[in-house]
Amino acid sequence: MRWHFGVSGKDYGANTFYSARYDDQFEHGFKTFAAVQAETKGRVHFRPGVYWNYSGDRFELFRGSEAVVPFNYHSTNVFGANLNGWLDWRLGKTAFGAEVRNEGIVSTALGEPLDRPRAIRGADREFTRGLNRTNISFFL
């Protein structure tokens, strides 16, 4: 069995990162990620896994001031589960697997209008836009 977990926080001046016109841009980002994976031994191998990634950020066109342009907030969640496997046999190795993955974003600027706005933690604003999708894949 294998697992990992991580946390990352970054605050940085984003001078000319998004636009050369504004020289006081700023980005605040926070990420967490986790995954667990196991593997069986033998003639038929199975490798199941689950994972989750979260990312939140705040972009400031004018650092520290929402007076002219409100800050943009984004929050994404990606989680999924997969099962990979392979069979060793006389003609070689045959691999197979499946994955279910859900990807979602809520934002003040990206996506389609939400039916119900969601509060932004630590701010007096709401997420008003977003998108969500689920992907299912198989392979042999």
Residue-averaged pLDDT of the chain: 94
The pLDDT of residue 107 is 97
> Comparing 39 with 16, which gets the higher pLDDT?
39
Q: Which residues pair with 132 in a beta bridge?
A: 104
C-alpha atoms less than 13 angstroms from C-alpha of 43 in its C-beta half-sphere: 2
Q: Are strands 44-60 and 92-107 parallel, antiparallel or unpaired?
A: unpaired
> For residues 126 and 72, what is the distance between their CA atoms, to the nearest angstrom?
11
The pLDDT of residue 91 is 92
> Comparing 46 with 66, which gets the higher pLDDT?
46
Q: Where are the domains of the chain?
A: 2-139
Q: Which residue has the tokens 């995954």?
A: 35
C-alpha atoms less than 13 angstroms from C-alpha of 135 in its C-beta half-sphere: 11
> For residues 73 and 49, what is the distance between their CA atoms, to the nearest angstrom?
30
Residue 31 pLDDT level (bands cut at 50, 70, 90):
very high
Mean pLDDT over 47-66 rounds to: 94
